[in-house]
Amino acid sequence: MGAQIRRLENTLTTIGTGIVAMAIWQTIKIILQLTLLNQMEKNEETTIGVIIAISITVFLGLIECYIGFSARSEGKGKKKSGVYLVWTGLYLAAFFAVLVYEIYLIFADYDFTISTIVIVIIDISAFVLNLEMMVSAIKVRRLRKLSAGGTA
């Protein structure tokens, strides 16, 4: 049981690092895209929309970083509350809805360009990473409880 716990903790640490890196990359990418859009349009309405979108992007990036750092912390054996798992569940539900919508748009518009397909593949990978992190966190908590003499 100890080897399985260590393997799951290693998974949590690795995936947590990946989630933080992905969050930082996505936040920077979206901010740059929105900034370039604002420079092209240069009107007041676009500027306000860009500021709101950047604020939301930074907020979501911070939530993803919180999830990733919490997973890393739990993977290193530190006691974490289940709040980050609740955030992960909410994030996965929203992410799944966006992913389904992206796939729908590709098939509805017949937009089979390489860039849209790559974006969907990256989004699917991020979804699977978050799902794997959540499953590993739940498993490691159960195994720790069992090894401490409790019941799962």
Quickly state the pLDDT bin for 151 (edges 50, 70, 90): low
pLDDT of residue 150: 67
Residue 136 has pLDDT above 70, yes or no: yes
pLDDT of residue 132: 94
pLDDT of residue 103: 87
What are the sequence ranges of the domains in the chain? 2-147
For 6-10, 45-49, 74-78, 136-140, which range has the lowest pLDDT when averaged over its residues?
45-49
pLDDT of residue 152: 55
Q: Using an 8 Å Cβ cutoff, are 88 and 134 in contact?
A: yes
**Whole-number average pLDDT of the chain:** 88
pLDDT tens digits for range 65-114: 999 999 999 999 888 888 999 999 999 999 899 999 988 888 888 777 88
